[in-house]
């Protein structure tokens, strides 16, 4: 399901492409959505790309392509009426069986997820877990499966709207689609947050920062430990 801002941005980009023939600038998108910073636009574009609504043509300036519109997504989007208090249609019953989490005081609104430490070379993700640290996450951000939160270190994903000190919510799993932002374990030792690209028998881990290099490994050296589903930031 798209959020209201994701829907507004997708509609604006589609209208701009049809009227001008090229995608709007980040400044134009920021003004259209009345956001205070371009980092919010980065996050919205990344979310739309991961859900298959947008495609970025890399190495081309201001190159966005609308793959499909919300009304083509079936039940993925409902924007006709203002949002009602969240009442999940898919996740029901006892959430403790699905998440490694403690029920929040209002379990229809939020759950507590384990918070892992900052991504750092030399530590598998399980070794980073602090059993006593948890973070409250809106249930609307989560789907099926197990989730955990992870604090981001560094600037390698800033062009995807992921900044140093942000908290990302990760769906735990060892399978991911091409183009998803994942937590990758390299050589059973180094953990990193990057975009996944499969190239034959190799795996490319792409940063979202031109100052960082793409790293390419044989597929058997990289293990997927989860995929990005949400981002949290404190101001």
Q: CB–CB of 104/50 below 8 Å?
A: no
Of the candidates 156, 202, 223, 227, the residue annotated as catalytic is 156
Q: Is 172 helix (H, G, I), strand (E, B) or coil?
A: strand
Residue 49 has which token pair? 């790309």
Look at the block and give the residue holding tokens 């951000």.
141
Handedness of CA 13, 18, 23, 29 (dihedral sign): negative
Answer yes or no: 194 catalytic: yes
| CA trace torsion 169, 47, 41, 77 (10° rounding) | -120
Calpha distance 114→107 (Å, rounded): 16
Q: Which of 194, 202, 223, 227 is catalytic?
A: 194
Per the annotation, the verdict on 156 as an active-site residue is yes
- Residues with a catalytic annotation lie at 156, 194
């Amino acid at each position: 399901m798209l959020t209201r801002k994701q829907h507004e941005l997708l509609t604006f980009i589609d209208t701009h492409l049809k009227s001008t023939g090229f995608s709007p600038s980040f400044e134009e998108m920021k003004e259209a959505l009345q956001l205070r910073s371009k980092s919010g636009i980065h996050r919205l574009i990344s979310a739309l790309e991961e859900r298959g609504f947008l495609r970025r043509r890399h190495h081309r300036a201001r190159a966005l392509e609308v793959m499909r519109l919300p009304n083509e997504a079936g039940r993925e989007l409902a924007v006709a009426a203002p949002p009602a208090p969240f009442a999940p249609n898919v996740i029901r019953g006892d959430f403790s069986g699905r998440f490694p989490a403690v029920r929040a005081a209002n379990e229809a609104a939020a759950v507590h997820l384990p918070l892992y430490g900052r991504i750092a070379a030399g530590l598998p993700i399980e070794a980073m877990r602090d059993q006593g640290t948890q973070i409250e996450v809106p249930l609307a951000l989560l789907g099926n499966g197990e989730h955990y939160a992870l604090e981001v270190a560094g600037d390698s994903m800033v062009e995807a709207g992921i900044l140093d000190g942000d908290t990302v919510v990760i769906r735990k799993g060892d399978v991911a689609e091409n183009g998803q932002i994942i937590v990758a374990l390299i050589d059973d030792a180094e953990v990193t947050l990057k975009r996944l690209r499969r190239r034959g028998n190799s795996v490319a881990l792409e940063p979202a920062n031109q100052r960082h290099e793409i790293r390419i490994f044989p597929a058997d050296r990289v293990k997927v430990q989860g995929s990005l589903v949400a981002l949290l930031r404190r101001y």
